Chains A and B, each alone.
Chain A
Amino acid sequence: MMVAYVVLDGFDLGVGILHPFLARTEEEKQLMMRSIGPVWDGNEVWLLAAGGTLYFAFPLLYASAFSGFYLALMIVLWLLIMRGISIELRMQMEIGVWRAFFDGLFFLSSLLLAVFFGAALANVIRGVPLGADGYFFLPLWTNWRVGPDPGILDWYTVIGGVVALVALALHGALYLVVKTEGGLDQRSRAAARVLWIALLALTVVSLPATVFARPDTLANYQRYPFALAVPAVVLLALGGIWYFSRRSDDRRAFACSCAYLSVMLVGAAIGLYPRLLPSSTDASRDITIQKALSGPHTLHVGLAWWAFGMCLALMYFVIVYRMFKGKVSLEGGGYGH
């Protein structure tokens, strides 16, 4: 579910990051908003549903991580609020200042959210100072070092944030290439090329940084050699983005970007397995799947309705994306918007 969230909400975050750079006219700004208008809300629901699922399936992890990352999470909540209203309220008034304000808010909140999500993942990889009772509390930053007394932001997690920022911006650019025409389409292509080079460089930097921050990430890859397919797929997906973009096969390029994001997450999960939230101080305090899992009956029941609900959700998504497929234009009825 986290993968679904990142792949789906990722592109509308990316559109937000690119918004001030690619759109030159009011019409183009509207087009960019329209391309995500009917779907961003549904994409964000994945985050909520994932949060809820985390809550019932791994209550300990939910309680520990959410209270420990308290400040960062609250800031993420504020950003989600600001982003939501800037998308929805922008069109409500035909006043230049009003729209410019929400454009700015949309850009800033999208950008910071991407950074925070990347940093969050990096925090989980690096580990947190878990106490004996399974709790911790991290300030936003301390000395910016990956040490025994880390903050939510240090040099490693900032790299994670920047990787996420560039990856999601690229994801958004590729989405725009699929959904738009003319000047916007051309500029999105150009942006995608620049972002692709940046992402390649960052991906290459982030791998040794991860090994430095958490040396035992490689253990699982040594134990299960088939997991080495993960980095291979990461590189393949990156190559695919370049290859298909050059040939103007836009859908495949976007699909490769989806694959890249998914496999980066899967790769992190494999590196951590069976840990969900490792301790940075004492390995015996790691929150593992075993420790955090809910009771058997809860999981049994949960899995049943969850599978059913996911099928329904997928069905809705297919319907909505089919309804709004193709390039966006400014024609067609807005109902109440």
Chain B
Amino acid sequence: MSVTALLLHRIHFAFTITFHYLFPQLTMGLALLIVVLKTIAIRYKDDRYNQAARFWSKLFAINFVIGVVTGIPMEFQFGTNWSQFARYTGGVIGQPLAMEGVFSFFLESAFLGLFLFGEKRLSVGMHWASAFLVFVGSWISGFFIIVTNAWMQHPVAYRVLPNGAYEVTSFWGLLTNPWGLLQYAHNMSGAVITGSFVMCAVGAFYVLENQFAEYGKVFLRVGVIVGLISCVTQIFPTGDLHGRYVAKHQPAAVAGMEGLFNSQRGAGIVLMGQPNEEKQTIDNPLVVNDVLSFLIYGTTHGEVTGLDQFPRDQWPEPLPLLFFSYHIMAGLGTYFVLLMAVAGFLLWRGKLFRTRWALWPLLLSFPLPYIANTAGWMTAEIGRQPWVVYGLIRTSDGYSKYVSAGNGLFTLLGFMGIYAVLSILFIVLVYRIIQKGPEVTGTGTASTGTSMTVA
């Protein structure tokens, strides 16, 4: 009975957070890209870039709304579904969560209103500033969420009060948790990848379709350059440093990610395979010798801790999902660099817009960063199991005892239904915006800016 309730609460949170984060990653990535577009427009007095910014701000607005409405449930679920966890950790992680609201949401909501509704009322500089502040707001928001998560991954700067609750001892220590800083860099780089891949895909679509091709080229140029930079920083330095830090502080998680059942000197890296928990091996392995030791310790002789060093009740679970999430993330990350390197090279040589075999993968690859970002988060969250706060509170002790499995399932199904409808609405609206293209008089009359096409 209790197992069912625990599992349902986990799925409840996993489902709602996974769906939610499909939107903020694009919000944060696009916010930066819109600032880039507007900056170029001002710097080079090129109105195409202004028009491009207007086009993307339409997609941004819809994406932002879905992100906001699916984000509200997240802040409340700590209390509703994870009350025991909330009760003991509120004194620590309640702070960054509240700060997100106070410092980021107010900023974002205020200046998004100005940005979307106020282009005519504001000067060029002020409108740029409001775009910039929306960008800052969304990135601050990401920071506070990462600080929250980082404390759960790697608790720092806390003490235990007489009633068993945790309290923050150094606020600065909480904000500068090294885990959090690394995770933040890695995560934001990932969000920029999503933004630039989406921009590239729309650009490639317009160029291949030979419609709005002028704008398609603008999108591709900006998308490929920003995409190339972010794909590289995703792996080095952010991914590399973050991976080593995890290896140091959550060795069981890394063993699970890599499917390393037995400790090994000169451990190899498994590129593909299926973990077999019963036999404690990897089925159908494709291994490159020594690489894992090298990645973690910088030498092929380092000994990597395997799962055999940990009692069974401290293994991350579900282990196979952890293994696959990590491999999907890392595999896609590698593909992203290759794709962007090729596209960047072609762009530099001035051939990208005529090279159809490169435009096709740019068009089709936009879902992949969503998958990679999701897989990355699943790696982090499953890797932390069986703890909800690493080493301090077990997940099985954190959920709301009085919310039965039946009630949990009821609301989970409710969310699934609502989110299914949201997905359909989102796809329809985004499709219409892309179909109508950027050559819309966005600053025209009427409140229905999107409804006025210039075919």
Using CB atoms, name the residue of chain A closest to B111: A316
Q: Which residues in chain B, 37-96, are within 8 Å of chain A measured between CB atoms? A: 54, 57-58, 60-62, 65-66, 68-70, 72-73, 75-76, 78-81, 83-84, 86-95
Q: Are the CB atoms of A335 and B101 closer together than 8 Å?
A: no
Using CB atoms, name the residue of chain B closest to A62: B79
Q: Which of B62, B70, B98, B400 contacts A52 (CB 8 A)?
A: B98
Q: Are the CB atoms of A335 and B54 closer together than 8 Å?
A: yes
B449 at interface, CB cutoff 8 A = yes
Q: Are the CB atoms of A336 and B61 closer together than 8 Å?
A: yes
Q: Which of B107, B418, B425, B447 contacts A312 (CB 8 A)?
A: B107
Q: Which residues in chain B, 403-440, are within 8 Å of chain A measured between CB atoms? A: 403, 407, 410-411, 414-415, 418, 422, 425, 429, 432
CB contacts (< 8 Å) of A70 on chain B: these are 80-81, 400, 403, 407, 411
Q: Are the CB atoms of B80 and A60 closer together than 8 Å?
A: no
Give the interface centre of B84, B91, B114, B442 by most chain A CB atoms within 10 Å: B91
Q: Are the CB atoms of B69 and A85 closer together than 8 Å?
A: yes
Q: Which of B54, B117, B161, B415 contacts A37 (CB 8 A)?
A: B117
Task: Identify the stretch in B165-173, B301-309, B318-326 within 8 Å (CB) of chain A at 4 or more residues.
Answer: B165-173
A312 to B: closest C-beta gap in Å = 7
B274 at interface, CB cutoff 8 A = no
Residue tally, chain B, CB below 8 Å to A: 84
B115 at interface, CB cutoff 8 A = yes
Q: A312-B106, A316-B106 are in contact. Are A62 and B65 (CB under 8 A)?
A: no
Q: A66-B79, A333-B119, A336-B116 are in contact. Are A88 and B98 (CB under 8 A)?
A: no
Q: Are the CB atoms of B72 and A81 closer together than 8 Å?
A: yes
Q: Which of B60, B72, B109, B121 contacts A332 (CB 8 A)?
A: B121
Q: A52-B102, A332-B120 are in contact. Are A45 and B109 (CB under 8 A)?
A: yes
A53 at interface, CB cutoff 8 A = yes
Give Cα A270 to B111, complex, Å. 36
Q: Are the CB atoms of A335 and B117 closer together than 8 Å?
A: yes
Give Cα A60 to B94, complex, Å. 12
Q: Are the CB atoms of B98 and A336 closer together than 8 Å?
A: no
Give Cα A319 to B114, complex, Å. 9
Give Cα A294 to B166, complex, Å. 9
Sorting the interface of chain A by its residue count into under 10, 10 to 19, 20 to 34 or 35 or more gives 35 or more
Q: Which of B75, B111, B121, B165 contacts A51 (CB 8 A)?
A: B75
B334 at interface, CB cutoff 8 A = no
Q: Are the CB atoms of A42 and B65 closer together than 8 Å?
A: no
Q: Are the CB atoms of A59 and B110 closer together than 8 Å?
A: no
B118 to A: closest C-beta gap in Å = 6
A65 at interface, CB cutoff 8 A = yes
B357 at interface, CB cutoff 8 A = no
B102 to A: closest C-beta gap in Å = 4
Q: Which residues in chain A, 45-94, are within 8 Å of chain B measured between CB atoms? A: 45, 47-49, 51-53, 55-60, 62-68, 70-71, 73-74, 77-78, 80-82, 84-85, 88-89, 91-94
B15 to A: closest C-beta gap in Å = 13
Q: A92-B62, A336-B57 are in contact. Are A59 and B94 (CB under 8 A)?
A: yes
Using CB atoms, name the residue of chain A closest to B422: A85
- Which A positions have Cβ atoms within 8 angstroms of B? 30, 34, 37-39, 41-42, 44-45, 47-49, 51-53, 55-60, 62-68, 70-71, 73-74, 77-78, 80-82, 84-85, 88-89, 91-94, 134-137, 294-298, 301-302, 305-306, 309-310, 312-313, 316-317, 319-320, 323-324, 330-337
Give 8 new A-B contacts, CB below 8 A, not counting A295-B168, A310-B102: A52-B100, A81-B422, A91-B450, A92-B450, A93-B432, A298-B92, A333-B117, A335-B120
Closest 4 CB pairs of A and B: A59-B90, A66-B79, A56-B94, A52-B98
A-B contact pairs, 5 of them (CB 8 A): A71-B407, A74-B411, A136-B402, A305-B171, A316-B111
